[in-house]
Amino acid sequence: MGAAQTFGPRGVVGGLIALFAIFLPSLLLVVGVLPFWDRLKREPWARGALAGVGAVVVGLLAAALWDPVLSTTIGRPSDWALLAAAFVFLQVARLPPWLVVLGFATATGALL
């Protein structure tokens, strides 16, 4: 199979099917729970479950950030200094993320 076939009609249809399959479960969950949401959000067990799910999501995102990103790209002390500076610009100075990304990309490109 050549590379041209992946961009043909079957590739587009397969991509749309994959996109549909990714978002369908959450869409069905939201549509299924929506009629009961007002009553459900007052239940202590449901609020506890949502807090637990939120904690799990934060943990998974932190693990995904650490393993493929930070452990392979940040090795030198100067890399850690750039990371700390970006954190300060985002959290302390409250600059928008797009501005921090553009600024650091420009600064890194100029320094290299």
**Measured distance CA(58)–CA(65) in Å, rounded:** 10
Domain total of the chain: 1
Decide if 32 is inside a domain.
yes
Q: How many helices (H) and strands (E) does the chain have?
A: 7, 0
At 2, the pLDDT band (50, 70, 90 cuts) reads low
Decide if 28 is inside a domain.
yes
Decide if 56 is inside a domain.
no
Decide if 8 is inside a domain.
yes
pLDDT, the chain, mean: 86
**Measured distance CA(72)–CA(103) in Å, rounded:** 22
Decide if 73 is inside a domain.
no
99, 106 Cβ separation under 8 angstroms:
no
The phi, psi pair for 2, rounded to 5°, reads -90, 170
Decide if 37 is inside a domain.
yes
pTM of the predicted protein model: 0.48
Angle, vertex CA 37, rays to CA 34 and CA 41, nearest 5? 155
Decide if 48 is inside a domain.
no
**Measured distance CA(82)–CA(32) in Å, rounded:** 45
The pLDDT of residue 98 is above 60: yes
What's the DSSP call for residue 93?
A: S
Position 77 scores a pLDDT of 86
The pLDDT of residue 24 is above 90: yes
Decide if 33 is inside a domain.
yes
Q: What is the pLDDT of residues 53-71, one digit of tens each?
A: 999 999 999 998 888 877 7
Question: Could you list the residue range(s) of the whole structural domain that residue 21 is in?
Answer: 1-42
